[in-house]
Amino acid sequence: MDFEAYLDQLASAHPTPGGGSAATLVGALAAALCAMVARITLATPKLALHHEQASAIVEDADDLRRRFLELRPLDEAAFGSVIAAQALPRATDAEAAARREHLQRTLVGAAEAPLEAARLACDAFALTARTAELHNANLMSDVDCALHFARAAFDASSTNVEVNHRYITDAVTVTQQRDRLAALARAAREFESRTAAVIVGRRS
């Protein structure tokens, strides 16, 4: 669907798409901005020293944008599975047990989707750092916007991982997912600091 149609659906009373889906689009925006900065850098003769790096960023940014967009329907489907599981019958003990088991499986999947989005957002942070280091002063504000979009995508995805953890009863799974998310958060902060240092340096 086109973007306006997506926004109409996001604003509707339907539970999907929701925040996790929207986070993937925000991440895709970060990647797209990095690609724009790199492409303009490639067309700037005075930045020829950075053309090889810019060319690699274009390729990686386009790939990251594609991966974000491919994840969007998967996130929506994962949440949809939770909703479907919640609607299963539970009139008998057997039905209630089957419903609980199925719901737990779907909750784990619903946490995995935004966890993958957080991983992609971490890649977006890394991409902003590389893009900032092209030193295209005229487009540093776009790199800054990309950095903010990467942060928004990461934080929103983290929220959607954590909200599912409230209902997952398998403590081992929750711990493993939290550990993975914490590792991504640490890496994201490092890339964020690296990008911010270049941006601030250009402003001073």
Quick one: pLDDT at residue 201? 82
Quick one: pLDDT at residue 46? 96
Q: What predicted TM-score, i.e. pTM, was given to this entire model?
A: 0.94
Is 1 domain-assigned?
A: no
Q: Is 75 exposed, middle or buried (0-12, 13-18, 19+ CB in 10 A)?
A: buried
Q: Which range of residues forms the domain containing residue 78?
A: 14-203
Distance of CA 172 to the CA centre of its chain: 24
Is 7 domain-assigned?
A: no
Quick one: pLDDT at residue 203? 63
Is 75 domain-assigned?
A: yes
Q: What is the 3-state secondary structure (H, E, C) of 76-131?
A: HHHHHHHHHHHCCCCCCHHHHHHHHHHHHHHHHHHHHHHHHHHHHHHHHHHHHHHH
Quick one: pLDDT at residue 68? 98
Number of domains in the chain: 1
Is 4 domain-assigned?
A: no
For residue 22, the domain's CATH number is: 1.20.120.680
All residue ranges of the chain with pLDDT < 70 are 1, 203-204
Is 2 domain-assigned?
A: no
Distance from C-alpha of 68 to C-alpha of 71, rounded to nearest angstrom: 5
Is 129 domain-assigned?
A: yes
